[in-house]
């Protein structure tokens, strides 16, 4: 049986209760027939610790109460019996197949109206919430505050899309990510370019070339409507850590390239391993310890976009 878990965060409790959320959030880089009510308020992030979060869960072990209670962040579940693909403004961002998930929205948001769409057939009863929180304020305040609920909905098991809409301030920056042509010829070219990009990343692992891998990530080009998501110092730290992991040669890439699958969108492409998912995660890429041969490194699915003619990894 797949592992079941619930994560509950009561916004009235003290700092220690929220450590799990902080660690989780810090790792997240990540035609409608039914729609929730659009929030009357515009989402204006004044404080740099504010984040717009997506919560996905199932109506098991009390999660139905969590759907109704907007003072608690709670999510969890088992196998969905299918999959839910999450789109941000018509670009794929996440595949939900089991358990519960909390992840932030930023990169693919745009000034003005934003649409978060959930679609895909599944047997479990899954809910989604879009929240504005100060989830990154733990270091300063020790508390998490849910500032607004921009929408929430139970999703359709028959695959009918459900969309939650909200607005951001019109004065924010427009997306830096290029619109991706959707004709067949362009899609084929995009697929070839992305596969070449991933092959080069794999080559970095094979040749233990961490510095080249960090150059390929193009982190300095990643941006959000609020500007650069991470500082130059953070980019340097991330690049150093990634380079060290690859250079020491402990891990080898074991996911076959022919297993790569892609979901194309307006400005981004979700790239995932096509093999059946398991308890570790949904369609993850696998790395194996060279000595023990144990699968001990997973990553993905990846979301890539193009900026100034270069592919970048958004998450």
pLDDT in tens, 11-39: 333 222 222 333 333 333 332 233 334 34
Most confident of the following: 126-140, 266-280, 297-311: 297-311
Write the burial class of residue 64 (CB in 10 Å: 0-12 exposed, 13-18 middle, 19+ buried): middle
138 and 216 share one domain: no
Residue 31 lies in a domain: yes
Of 143, 168, 193, the position where a domain reaches its end is: 168
Question: Looking at residues 289-293, what average pLDDT do you find?
Answer: 77
103 and 139 share one domain: yes
Most confident of the following: 89-93, 135-139, 229-233, 240-244: 89-93
Do the bridges between strand 51-58 and strand 126-133 make them parallel or antiparallel, or are there none, so unpaired?
antiparallel
160 and 11 share one domain: yes
Q: What band does 236 get if pLDDT is binned at 50, 70 and 90?
A: confident
Record the tokens describing residue 309, joined without a space: 């003619």
Among all chains, which residue has been given the structure tokens 């941000």? 88
15 and 157 share one domain: yes
Checking if the pLDDT of 186 tops 80, the result is yes
Of 116, 134, 168, the position where a domain reaches its end is: 168
Checking if the pLDDT of 253 tops 50, the result is yes
32 and 156 share one domain: yes
Among all chains, which residue has been given the structure tokens 């939900």? 96
Residue 174 lies in a domain: no
Of 168, 200, 221, the position where a domain reaches its end is: 168
Say which CATH number the domain at 282 has.
3.10.450
Q: What is the pLDDT of residues 66-84, one digit of tens each?
A: 778 777 777 777 778 888 8
User: Cα 56 vs. chain centroid, distance in angstroms?
Assistant: 12
Measured over the CA atoms of residue 182, residue 34, residue 67 and residue 71, the dihedral's sign is: positive
Owning domain of residue 208: 184-313
Checking if the pLDDT of 194 tops 90, the result is yes
Residue 149 lies in a domain: yes
Question: Looking at residues 88-97, what average pLDDT do you find?
Answer: 91
Record the tokens describing residue 269, joined without a space: 């492409």
195 and 164 share one domain: no
307 CB contacts (<8 Å, ≥6 apart)? 176, 177, 178, 218, 221, 222, 223
Residue 284 lies in a domain: yes
Whole-structure pTM value: 0.80
Q: What is the pLDDT of residues 102-137, one digit of tens each?
A: 788 888 999 999 999 999 888 888 888 898 887 665
Residue 40's pLDDT is what? Answer: 40
Q: State the total domains in the chain.
A: 2
133 and 203 share one domain: no
Q: What band does 238 get if pLDDT is binned at 50, 70 and 90?
A: confident
Question: Looking at residues 161-168, what average pLDDT do you find?
Answer: 92
207 and 93 share one domain: no
Provide the 3-class DSSP secondary structure of residue 202. Answer: helix
Checking if the pLDDT of 142 tops 50, the result is yes
Q: CA-CA distances (angstroms) from residue 24 to 20, 102, 216, 259, 265?
A: 6, 8, 25, 27, 26
210 and 155 share one domain: no
33 and 133 share one domain: yes
Report the chain's mean pLDDT, rounded to a whole number: 75
User: 21 or 232, which is more confident?
Assistant: 232
Determine the Cα–Cα distance for residues 64 and 72; give it in Å rounded to an integer: 12
Q: How many helical (H) and strand (E) elements, i.e. helices and strands, does the chain have?
A: 6, 21
Record the tokens describing residue 6, joined without a space: 């619930």
233 and 159 share one domain: no
234 and 103 share one domain: no
Residue 175 lies in a domain: no
């Amino acid at each position: 049986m797949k592992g079941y878990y619930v994560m509950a965060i009561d916004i009235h409790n003290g700092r220690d209760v929220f450590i799990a959320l902080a660690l989780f959030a810090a790792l997240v880089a990540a035609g409608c027939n039914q729609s929730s009510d659009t929030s009357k308020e515009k989402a204006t992030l004044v404080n740099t610790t504010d984040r717009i979060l997506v919560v996905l869960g199932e109506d098991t072990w009390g999660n139905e109460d969590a759907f109704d209670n907007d003072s608690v962040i709670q999510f969890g579940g088992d196998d969905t019996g299918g999959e839910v693909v999450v789109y941000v403004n018509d670009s794929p961002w996440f595949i939900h197949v089991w358990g519960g998930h909390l992840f932030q929205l930023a990169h693919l948001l745009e000034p003005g109206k934003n649409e978060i769409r959930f679609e895909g057939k599944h047997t479990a009863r899954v809910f989604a919430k879009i929240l504005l929180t100060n989830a990154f304020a733990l270091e300063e305040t020790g508390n998490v505050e849910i500032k607004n609920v921009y929408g929430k909905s139970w999703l359709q098991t028959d695959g009918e899309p459900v969309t939650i809409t909200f607005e951001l301030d019109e004065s924010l920056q427009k997306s830096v990510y290029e619109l991706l042509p959707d004709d067949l010829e362009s899609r084929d070219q995009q697929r070839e370019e992305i596969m070449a990009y991933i092959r080069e990343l794999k080559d970095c692992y094979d040749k233990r070339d961490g510095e080249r891998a960090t150059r390929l990530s193009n982190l300095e080009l990643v941006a959000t409507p609020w500007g650069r998501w991470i500082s130059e110092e953070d980019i340097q730290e991330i690049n150093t850590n990634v380079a060290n992991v690859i250079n020491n040669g402990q891990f080898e890439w074991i996911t076959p390239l022919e297993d790569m699958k892609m979901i194309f969108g307006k400005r981004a492409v979700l790239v995932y391993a096509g093999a059946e998912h398991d308890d570790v995660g949904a369609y993850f890429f696998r790395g194996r310890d060279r000595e023990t041969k144990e699968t001990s490194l997973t990553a993905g699915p990846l979301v890539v976009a193009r900026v100034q003619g270069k592919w970048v990894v958004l998450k």
